[in-house]
Structure 1
Amino acid sequence: MLQLNPILTSPDASSAKSVVMAVGGAEDKVHGRQILTTFCQRSGGLDATIGVIPSASREPDAMGRLYHDIFMEIGVKAVEVLLVSDRSHGENPDLLERLERCSGVFMSGGDQLRLSSLLDETPLLEKLRHQVWQGQSVLAGTSAGAAVMGERMIASGGSNEPPNRSLVDMSTGLGFLPDVIVDQHFHNRNRLARLISAISAYPEKLGVGIDEDTCALFEADGHLKVLGRGAVTIVDPRDVSYTSYPHVDLTDPVSIYNLRVHILSDGDCYNLLTHRALHKTV
């Protein structure tokens, strides 16, 4: 018999607030489950109904079952696995009705291009956006599920090179966080140069690189809070005075002056309105 996690409680004011959680992948699924438990708590705790969208995975049925069991073990009220393996499924009235019951929605890892192509411009995505932006559902995504959060997303890219125009391939994301570009498995796979390359192409965006077993938690009040074992890297191009990006060949290194970078760890915050990093309280 499944046991309720004693960390979970009934919903309160803090758990009812709108929030988006972008997870860098490889989150702890076995031991402390800090990030997944926080997601369940913010989604309503013991009263939460969690929707799982495993569409990014090559094995969505198995991925759906995995997270179904994890969230039930954590102690939520119910889990709905929302299988979307064809764009037509995004119009299914039964699926839309099941989504409406979800106080939290979790998008699994896999291939972000697959996930975006299945969900983009579907009624399911429009309904999910409405629920998230209205504070009716908490949204979390891990790995590919985090990469799709921005209006522009990193589809693929390389590493072990200086920033350059060919280092990153960009595509259209799902737009939950329109002003940011998210990258994941960040320091684990040496992805700073590709995030800088992406920000060089879209200097009006803020770069957010998230390590494995680490979460960038975006609050409705404009604060980003870091949760987990790794770091979140903020790449802020607001004060860039010069970049050679428009003028160099595809594989030439890009010059960029006065780029601001913050490295934040568990408990640190970043004010997305004032662009100031805030030290965690000890």
Structure 2
Amino acid sequence: MLELKPVLAQQSMVIPTHYPVMVIGGAEDKVNGCAILNAFFNSAGGKMATIGVIPCASQEPSVVGDRYYQIFKGMGATQVQILDIRQPQECDEERWLDVLSNCTGVFLTGGDQLRLRDLIGGSQFMTSIKQRIAIDNLVLAGTSAGAAIVGEKMISGGSSGDSPSQSLVDLTTGLGIFPDLLVDQHFHNRNRMARLMSAIAAHPDKLGVGIDEDTCAAFEDDSTFEVIGKGTITIIDPGKLTHTNYLASGQSSPLSLHNLTVHILSQGDRYNYQQRVVLPAPVMPRR
């Protein structure tokens, strides 16, 4: 087994807030402060947590699953279960549904979001996860591919660095945990601004959310999320969009998008994704 030595939860900053869903841009810190993973661990119950790791997006699920097993056991979780699902039909088997029913937190690893969607999408397993999130009975976190999957529409691939165009992004159906959001990950690290803008041109009813590596949109119960981590989260809001030539453009023709609203959020910033407003910073008490 891999021998990682993350900072133990009791040695790091206590994060009292409970986050029902955590959407991570990938490459989260696994060996130093582990701020994001500790926030998930604490939200799931801390030392009382039973955590299920779903590594099936990866081409090496055993290796990836063991890596997170080591991390969460090192933090002191009561149990860590690896839900090594290899075929879609397994998602409706009692063995995995029973394991899931005992979990207080579920972690979706990185890999290929299409593979992840095809394995668990539309299953009784995924339905149970959504139902338990809705009644605040389960904490869900997803990193990289596990982040891309949360919208009703999902970016499954594409290119980086060019001007926005239809050919820059591949779109398909996601898991619909947050139907109004369209998420991209490894965002500034892989120069994906134009890719997310292209996706929003195709679906201007959605809210674009681009999450950097080692950065997390930590969702709360009141339609808001808080930024945790070292990078930024980019919001692309087409709510006031006045024009796009998406329908009339060719596959490789540059796209026009007029009157987009863009926000760049960093550590501690909070955003209401239903009202589409940045929330004011909390007022610190005077000493």
Give the Cα separation in 1 of the matches to 2:57 and 2:255. 32
Q: Is the 8 A contact 2:153 2:171 kept in 1?
A: yes
In the TM superposition, residue 7 of structure 1 has moved relative to its aligned partner by 5.0
In the TM superposition, residue 278 of structure 1 has moved relative to its aligned partner by 2.5
- Over 6 Å off, 4+ runs: 8-12
SS in 1 for 2:248: coil
Asked if residue 229 in structure 1 is aligned to residue 230 in structure 2, the reply is yes
| Alignment gaps of 5+ in structure 2 | none
Letter in 2 for 1:5: A
In structure 1, the partner of 2:267 is 266
| Alignment gaps of 5+ in structure 1 | none
Letter in 1 for 2:71: I
SS in 2 for 1:102: coil
In structure 1, the partner of 2:239 is 238
Q: Is the 8 A contact 2:23 2:218 kept in 1?
A: yes
Give the Cα separation in 2 of the matches to 1:167 and 1:271. 28
Q: Is the 8 A contact 2:214 2:230 kept in 1?
A: yes
Q: Is the 8 A contact 1:47 1:77 kept in 2?
A: yes
Asked if residue 51 in structure 1 is aligned to residue 52 in structure 2, the reply is yes
Q: Is the 8 A contact 1:52 1:107 kept in 2?
A: yes
SS in 1 for 2:10: coil
Give the Cα separation in 2 of the matches to 1:56 and 1:88. 16
In structure 1, the partner of 2:80 is 79
**Which deviates the most, 224-233 or 126-135?**
126-135
- Cα separation, partners in 2 of 1:9 and 1:76, compared to 1, 3 Å: farther
Task: Give the number of aligned pairs.
Answer: 278
Letter in 1 for 2:37: L
Q: Is the 8 A contact 2:153 2:176 kept in 1?
A: yes
SS in 1 for 2:201: helix
Give the Cα separation in 1 of the matches to 2:77 and 2:12. 8
In structure 2, the partner of 1:146 is 147
In the TM superposition, residue 274 of structure 1 has moved relative to its aligned partner by 2.1
Letter in 2 for 1:6: Q
SS in 1 for 2:31: coil
In structure 2, the partner of 1:5 is 9
Asked if residue 156 in structure 1 is aligned to residue 157 in structure 2, the reply is yes
SS in 2 for 1:166: helix
- Cα separation, partners in 2 of 1:221 and 1:7, compared to 1, 3 Å: farther
Letter in 1 for 2:65: G
Asked if residue 250 in structure 1 is aligned to residue 251 in structure 2, the reply is yes
Give the Cα separation in 2 of the matches to 1:82 and 1:8. 28
In structure 2, the partner of 1:120 is 121
**Which deviates the most, 3-12 or 123-132?**
3-12
In the TM superposition, residue 8 of structure 1 has moved relative to its aligned partner by 8.0
Give the Cα separation in 1 of the matches to 2:234 and 2:76. 32
Q: Is the 8 A contact 2:208 2:237 kept in 1?
A: yes
- Cα separation, partners in 2 of 1:163 and 1:97, compared to 1, 3 Å: same
In the TM superposition, residue 92 of structure 1 has moved relative to its aligned partner by 1.2
Q: TM-score, normalised to structure 1's length?
A: 0.94
Residue correspondence of structure 1 range 28-43 to structure 2 within 5 A: 28-43=29-44
In structure 1, the partner of 2:93 is 92
Give the Cα separation in 1 of the matches to 2:226 and 2:242. 28
Q: TM-score, normalised to structure 2's length?
A: 0.93
Q: Is the 8 A contact 1:54 1:63 kept in 2?
A: yes
Give the Cα separation in 2 of the matches to 1:275 and 1:267. 17
In the TM superposition, residue 69 of structure 1 has moved relative to its aligned partner by 0.8
In the TM superposition, residue 280 of structure 1 has moved relative to its aligned partner by 3.6
SS in 2 for 1:6: helix
In the TM superposition, residue 4 of structure 1 has moved relative to its aligned partner by 5.7
RMSD: 1.9
SS in 2 for 1:116: helix
In the TM superposition, residue 273 of structure 1 has moved relative to its aligned partner by 2.7
